[in-house]
Amino acid sequence: MGIFCEIIQKEKNRRRINLMFKNKIYNIVLLAGSFIITLLIIAKLSGVLQYAYVPQAGCEPNIKKGSFVIVTNILPYEKFKLLTYNQNSEKFGKGVYIQRLVGTEGDKIQIKNGNLFVNNGLADKGIRLKHLYKIDRAFVNDLMLKGVSENEFYQIDDNYFLTNLSENQLSDHFFYERFINPNQDKDIVKIYHKDWTADNFGPVTIPPGKVFFLGDNRNASLDSRFIGFVDESEITGSVIYPKN
């Protein structure tokens, strides 16, 4: 009987030790989790880390419509990087935009036939962009089979459509050609008082304290061509995810 009681007591001790160990692990995990959550809250409130939903396609193909991005305000704001800024246009409303910083104070900006030049040098090299293309019906069908929504195509006649495509979406098996919009844009004329278009814009020199933003989806972006120069002080952060 004594041996039996001793075995029972040892089993109770073992269970007590296991319970104490589990409680200790639980408390450590709870404490670590609370610490991480506190850090994330502080990071978000301070702007060190911001999480944002992107509802528009203005920065495709690099930031997909409907995706999330992570932004920080502790990195230096580099030219030709994707940044966030406060947009305070009276016509288009207030909000935070994500676009590419392409020009700072004193830079000369010009767009020729859809290609960006900064200080007379082609600035689009090495950046994945979307441009407007005229394509045939067969190409439309192929793109839809690959998952492109029918809402992405604008039909201009019985056989041809307009759509925004990145270079890796082009195919030599189908007809395509860059489409340069010849029509003046009233918003551009209102801001810059010149008969410029989205594809043939400038040259214009950026004033002191101002910067110039463009979306990577060049024919589907509400950027500095339409809302004007942005105050440098309105820049709020740099995109760190997706990779910038």
Pick the CATH number of 50-129+180-241 from 2.10.109.10, 1.10.620.20, 3.40.390.10, 3.40.50.170: 2.10.109.10
- Domain extents in the chain: 1-46, 50-129+180-241
Range with the largest mean pLDDT of 60-74, 77-91, 108-122: 108-122
**Residues 202, 212: contact at Cβ < 8 Å?**
no
Query: How many residues are recorded in the chain?
Result: 244
Query: What local confidence, expressed as pLDDT, does residue 3 receive?
Result: 55
b/e map 138-158, b = 16+ CB within 10 Å: ebbebbeeeeeeeebbeeeee
Strands 68-72 and 50-53: antiparallel
Query: What local confidence, expressed as pLDDT, does residue 14 receive?
Result: 62
Query: What local confidence, expressed as pLDDT, does residue 4 receive?
Result: 47
Give the CA distances from residue 237 to residues 50, 71, 77, in Å, rounded to whole numbers and listed in that order: 9, 6, 7
**Residues 69, 98: contact at Cβ < 8 Å?**
yes
pLDDT in tens, 85-132: 999 877 777 889 999 999 999 999 999 999 999 999 999 999 999 999
Which residues pair with residue 100 across a beta bridge? 82, 214
Give the CA distances from residue 52 to residues 96, 237, 238, in Å, rounded to whole numbers and listed in that order: 9, 11, 12
